[in-house]
Amino acid sequence: MNEVTTIDRTQREYSDAVKKALARKPQLYINGEWVDSSGGATIDVEDPSSGKVISSFVEATDKDVDRAIAAARTAFDDRRWRDMPPVAREKVMHKIADLIEDHADELAELEAIDVGKPKGMASVVDVPGAAAHFRYMAGWAGKIGGETQAPYAMPGGMMFGYTLKEPVGVCAQIVPWNFPLLMACLKLAPVLASGCTSVLKPAEQTSLTALRLADLIHEAGVPAGVINIITGYGHTVGDRMVKSPSVDKVAFTGSTEIGKLINRNATDTLKHVTLELGGKSPVVVMPDVDVASTAPGVAGAIFFNSGQVCVAGSRLYAHKSVFDKVVEGMAETAPFWAPRPSLDPEGHMGPLVSKEQHERVLGYIEAGKRDGASVLMGGDVPSNDGGYYVNPTILTDVNPQMSVVREEIFGPVVVAQRFEDLDEVVKEANDTQYGLAAGVWTKDVSAAHKIAARLQAGTVWVNCHAMIDPALPFGGYKESGIGHEQGRLGLEAYLETKSVLMKL
């Protein structure tokens, strides 16, 4: 992509509130207080817009992990949270949401400089979404109940039966680096609504907002030990959390590779597991679309959050009659998606989260070129950056055997393909190990329903993309996960069902 104008990619100065958060002593939130680690190791925090180290946080030890799990175990076993009146728990959850909204600007900036996403986007997506998850799940706190059977006759006499819904116990929750605040709140909200307790570990790349969230959880009045937030690497801290015999449930969002490993480790003690994993989402564009409005929407499906989204529309299938116009329309959005520093008010796409991710995405682009793909747009890096920037990229002339078509890139790279027959495109769209999400663009409502029914995906969007509602369940088919988050199903993932039978 050739930049029309030179963009100054110098990161803006941080606010005083963020400077204060960055300067805090590296500690862990365990049993309702900030505590020092039993070790002295820390992990650097980089601003992806500059590549500079801006802070650090604790690399937790095994002893730290065990301490956090023990706090959660004690808090669950003594029933300090689950036995609170539901209306009281609901009030605390709404207070957390209130505090998130009160600190919205600070949280959006922290998220921006930690992940690399534009602050403007974090302000309208991540922070409001985080509060919304607490508000939605708060409404469930007083509505959890079982079922009752009418008395009935058995050989020994009359029987009365009913079921109870009970919290599953101590939860180990591991969240990804692309939406750290939103995903932390998505996971913690059902914990609080159900009466469970949690040890939460944010990604080692992006822990700033989770640590700040701990302050707000404490201020809202969540009892000590109910929520514990610790930091460190997945292969050490996360692994010990998953394998702990004191943990009853594991909830993980991240790559399919790591999800499979976690699932295997959790089976030793038959823990409850919820996994939201990778995706390679198809976007099907039918011949009847209005190209002028569809092309920008399809571009947003992949370039939003720099393509670092599990549901990113990374495989485009456009009908041959509109293919050229659609990809040309997407290319025209290049100035809008030109990567800028996360605090640039004109930015719509920022850098990638890390040097590792930067190299990974560029490696996929080069592999696509070697395999014969053509670069219609992008495929390179900006000329004057100091961070981890990659220009939005459209690859054409691809085939299903290419790694760029089959594997999750997790960057601003879309592979565009033509189709003619509906049965053909549905087959190609489903020809993947993943099944997290898909998109359909058409004016034909009947066609939309028919295609949605045939796509093997947990969520299908029609004439939009990546619209998330806390009230609707979210989960994947095939290797995109196990179970659901959000909605009633997301709550029930944190509940056990007990049957009680009584002789009258």
Kindly report the CATH number assigned to the domain that includes residue 484: 3.40.605.10
Asked if residue 6 belongs to a domain, the reply is no
Say what the pLDDT of residue 7 is. Answer: 87
Residues 243 and 185 in one domain: yes
Are residues 252 and 151 part of one domain? yes
User: Would you say residue 4 lies in a domain?
Assistant: no
Same domain flag for 309 and 393: yes
The domain of 248 spans: 16-277+480-501
d(C-alpha 53, C-alpha 436), whole Å: 34
pLDDT of residue 2: 45
Shared domain check, 153 and 86: yes
Q: What is the dihedral of CA 468, 257, 457, 466, to 10 degrees?
A: 20
Query: Is 488 inside a domain boundary?
Result: yes
Do 174 and 104 belong together in one domain?
A: yes
Examine the domain organization and report whether 20 and 84 are in the same domain.
Answer: yes
What CA–CA distance (Å, rounded) separates 42 from 53?
A: 12
Rg (CA), the chain: 24
Do both 70 and 152 map to the same domain? Answer: yes
Does 247 share its domain with 347? no
Establish if 102 belongs to a structural domain.
yes
Are 334 and 195 found together in one domain?
Answer: no
Q: Is 150 found in the same domain as 79?
A: yes
Cα 168 off chain centre by? 22
- Please indicate whether residue 106 is annotated as part of the active site: no
| Residue 328, in any domain of the structure | yes
Which residue, 95, 127, 165, is CA-closest to 495? 165
pTM for this model (two decimals): 0.96
What does the alpha-carbon distance between residue 400 and residue 387 come to, in Å, rounded to a whole number?
A: 32
Has residue 470 been placed in a domain?
A: no
| Cα–Cα dist 90/85, whole Å | 9
Q: Do 142 and 196 lie in a common domain? A: yes
User: What pLDDT does 1 receive?
Assistant: 43
Q: What is the CATH number of the domain that holds 325?
A: 3.40.309.10
> Cα–Cα distance between 192 and 167 in angstroms, integer?
10
* pLDDT one digit per residue (tens) for the chain, 504 residues: 444 457 889 999 999 999 999 999 999 999 999 999 999 999 999 999 999 999 999 999 999 999 999 999 999 999 999 999 999 999 999 999 999 999 999 999 999 999 999 999 999 999 999 999 999 999 999 999 999 999 999 998 999 999 999 999 999 999 999 999 999 999 999 999 999 999 999 999 999 999 999 999 999 999 999 999 999 999 999 999 999 999 999 999 999 999 999 999 999 999 999 999 999 999 999 999 999 999 999 999 999 999 999 999 999 999 999 999 999 999 999 999 999 999 999 999 999 999 999 999 999 999 999 999 999 999 999 976 689 999 999 999 999 999 999 999 999 999 999 999 999 999 999 999 999 999 999 999 999 999 999 999 999 999 999 999 999 999 999 999 999 999 999 999 999 999 999 999
The answer as to whether 468 is a domain residue is: no
Place of tokens 């571009």: 299
Count up the domains in the chain and report the number: 2
β-pair partners for 485? 474
Q: What confidence score (pLDDT) does residue 4 get?
A: 44
Among candidate residues 62, 160, 268, the one with its CA nearest the CA of residue 499: 160
SS3 283: strand
Asked, for residue 85, whether it belongs to a domain, the answer is yes
The answer on 335 and 206 residing in a single domain is no
DSSP 8-state symbol, 268: G
Asked whether the beta carbons of 447 and 289 are under 8 A apart, the reply is: no
- 111, 276, 479, 485: the active-site residue: 276
